[in-house]
Structure 1
Amino acid sequence: MEVNNSVVDKMMETVKKFEANKDNRTIFLHCYSMMTANMLLAIEQNKFHDTQWVNQLLNRFADYYFNALTCYDCGQETPTVWKEVHKAAASKKLHVIQHLLLGVNSHINYDLVLTLYDMLSPEWADLSDEMRVKRYQDHCLVNLIIGDTIDKVQDEVVEKYSPSMDVIDKLMGRLDEFLLLKLITAWRDKVWDHTQELLVLESEAERTKYILELEKKVLKKADWLDTQIGFR
């Protein structure tokens, strides 16, 4: 399948603007652009069961990020999970890993749930058991692509903003990448569970309540990343 790299181009244009303004939000977005580029390569290589569906999901996922970014920068109403990330990038002295994980937390634990729901809800009732399993397998395959990207992220982004991480990387070998992948994989497993729970809710009121509770959980993780993980 031939893919369109415009989403990566848009990310890198924004990264350049962030870097020019010494904006810490470049840390997450630069990493996200690398992950997205590897996802598009996997789509082009037909590694997924349904490349067209995954490509649509990838673009819808990116929409959530850019919509929140535009709203925040224009002073419009912004999802609270992203408002806190943007505020932390501008006003808090955090380690590069904290800035990265705060963005990952909001995008995976919140945006990805909504993205998967957007993609699955119109089709889920009519999907065969086999196709439901394939949707889940395509979701899980992303974990492998993340794993293949983490080393490059550490070398090209994390160490750029925190040179001392190069020393840590050499001392710990693959352990630090393994721990980061383990955390993200656990989050993505839970994302699928949250999506399944959303899919069985029958009313908009129930779904709204569920998403509000999800938001509280994501903000709690953000508070832990902000204050407790010990990178300061």
Structure 2
Amino acid sequence: MLADNIDDVIDGLAEIVRDATRAGDRIGYFAALYRQVTVEVRAAIHAGRFDDGPRMDRFDTHFGNRYFAAREAWRTARNGPRCWREAFASLEDPNTIIVQHLVQGVNAHINLDLAVAAAQTAPGPAIHALRNDFLLINDILADVVTAVQDSLNEISPYLWLLDRFGGRTDEQVLDFSIRRSRQEAWNNAVVLADHPAPEDVIDLLDVRTAVLARLIARPGGLVRPAIELIRSAEETDVPTVIAHLDNAMP
């Protein structure tokens, strides 16, 4: 599955959500979140919010194709970037709670794919003209995260325990410091855009992001028992969870 434009990305994500709903596959959790973000980005393009709408369409297409390629590599050969392998493997672990699945996807897609897609969209010195549009997506992500948080509270009523035992709010767990991660992704994009050996940099980013993925999947301290309590009360019917997440935005 390769997209030619942002409409194709949205259609591809919608197809994954539909298939996951029918199959009861938790891959639909992140796909539902990602679909809504992409819909909001497309709306912002059509509304003229970006400095260069066509460029953002290309950017989002490169970004989406990174996810599609990672999913296909895992599906066909249990292969692909290390961080995505960690995320997809966690889908098979019944002890993983909903928010962990979401943050696994956000981690891989922002901390690895975003910088790569940005550098691919605007290589060399052109990367600097992308900065304002790149950062504008923070506002779009914040709106979607707020809506998804409300939806999560309905299907995972003990999620607030991450506030008490994790030392941060449940929204911050879902948000996974998106603004900070996106700022770091921007710095990495600038490096990648003009690096003589970008694949070496991408490999280092993948290793680092995979380490974060393992920490998300297997947290220590008081977070572990908190996750067990959260899991005991949250919705376990996969199609129901996907429907909640996929309809979080009004």
TM bin, normalised by shorter chain, reads 0.7 to 0.9
2:183 to 180, 189, 198: 189
Q: Whole-Å Cα distance in 2 between the matches of residues 168 and 99 of structure 1?
A: 15
Q: Which residue of 2 aligns with 1:154?
A: 149
Determine if contact 1:34/1:153 at 8 Å carries over to the other structure.
no
1:63 to 65, 70, 75: 65
Q: Where do 5+ consecutive residues of structure 2 fail to align? A: 164-168, 229-250
How many residue pairs match? The answer is: 214
2:117 to 115, 125, 141: 115
| RMSD value, Cα | 2.5
1:18 to 20, 23, 27: 20
Q: Whole-Å Cα distance in 2 between the matches of residues 164 and 147 of structure 1?
A: 22
Q: Which residue of 2 aligns with 1:201?
A: 195
Q: Which residue of 2 aligns with 1:210?
A: 201
Query: Per-residue deviation at 1:75?
Result: 2.1
Q: Which residue of 1 aligns with 2:214?
A: 223
Query: Per-residue deviation at 1:199?
Result: 2.7
Determine if contact 2:20/2:27 at 8 Å carries over to the other structure.
yes
1:33-88 CA distances to partner (integer Å, 9 max, x unpaired)? 11111111111100000011001111111111111112221226422221121111
Determine if contact 1:96/1:161 at 8 Å carries over to the other structure.
no
1:184-215 CA distances to partner (integer Å, 9 max, x unpaired)? 1111000011111223322xxx3222222111
Q: Which residue of 2 aligns with 1:91?
A: 93
Opposite residue 222 of structure 1, the aligned amino acid is A
Q: Whole-Å Cα distance in 2 between the matches of residues 5 and 208 of structure 1?
A: 28
Q: Which residue of 2 aligns with 1:8?
A: 10
Specify whether residues 47 and 30 from structure 1 end up closer, same or farther in structure 2 by C-alpha distance, changes over 3 A only: same
Query: Per-residue deviation at 1:183?
Result: 0.4
Q: Whole-Å Cα distance in 1 between the matches of residues 208 and 162 of structure 2?
A: 30
Determine if contact 2:6/2:57 at 8 Å carries over to the other structure.
no
Q: Whole-Å Cα distance in 1 between the matches of residues 157 and 22 of structure 2?
A: 19
Opposite residue 185 of structure 1, the aligned amino acid is R
Q: Whole-Å Cα distance in 1 between the matches of residues 14 and 26 of structure 2?
A: 14
Specify whether residues 61 and 228 from structure 1 end up closer, same or farther in structure 2 by C-alpha distance, changes over 3 A only: same
2:49 to 43, 47, 62: 47
Query: Per-residue deviation at 1:95?
Result: 1.4
Opposite residue 139 of structure 2, the aligned amino acid is L
* Structure 1 position 137 matched with structure 2 position 132: yes
Query: Per-residue deviation at 1:12?
Result: 1.6
Determine if contact 2:78/2:85 at 8 Å carries over to the other structure.
no
1:95-128 CA distances to partner (integer Å, 9 max, x unpaired)? 111110001111111111111111121xx33x4x
